[in-house]
Amino acid sequence: CTLDSEVALRVGGDFFFDPQPGDSPVNLVLIAGGVGINPLFSILLHIADLHGYPEGKGNGHKLGTVKLYYSAKNTSELLFKKNILGLMNTFPGKITCCFHVTQQRSQICKELQPHTTGK
């Protein structure tokens, strides 16, 4: 997004992301806190699955980028963090994540440090 961009926002409830072949690509921003990551992680896995198809093999999906913002009290409460890091490594530039911790008391592990902000 850029300044003055129009965005759609959906909080809670019944939602899904199901792009169809031929749809214009969209960039997604997913925002999660605590266990609220569950439905968004499912969307992230779906997008990774669609990205995983070899280019030009007829699936017809054109996908934009996905940026996940995920907050928890500390890194031990960041569910699926290893899976998310794996997706970022598998799809660099297509899937990114920023973790945020609010009550971290110990040192953040080296693997998470480049992707984590907070106390």
pLDDT digits (tens, 9 = 90+) for 30-41: 999 999 899 999
**pLDDT category, 102, cuts 50, 70, 90?**
very high
108 CB contacts (<8 Å, ≥6 apart)? 75, 101, 116
Number of C-beta neighbours around residue 28 at 10 A: 17
The reported pTM is: 0.84
Lowest pLDDT segment from 18-22, 80-84, 89-93: 18-22
Enter the tokens of residue 41: 């992680």
- Outline where DSSP puts E strands in the chain: 28-33, 66-72, 95-101, 116-118
pLDDT at position 51 is 81
Set out the domains of the chain in order of their start, with CATH numbers: 28-52+62-118 (3.40.50.80)
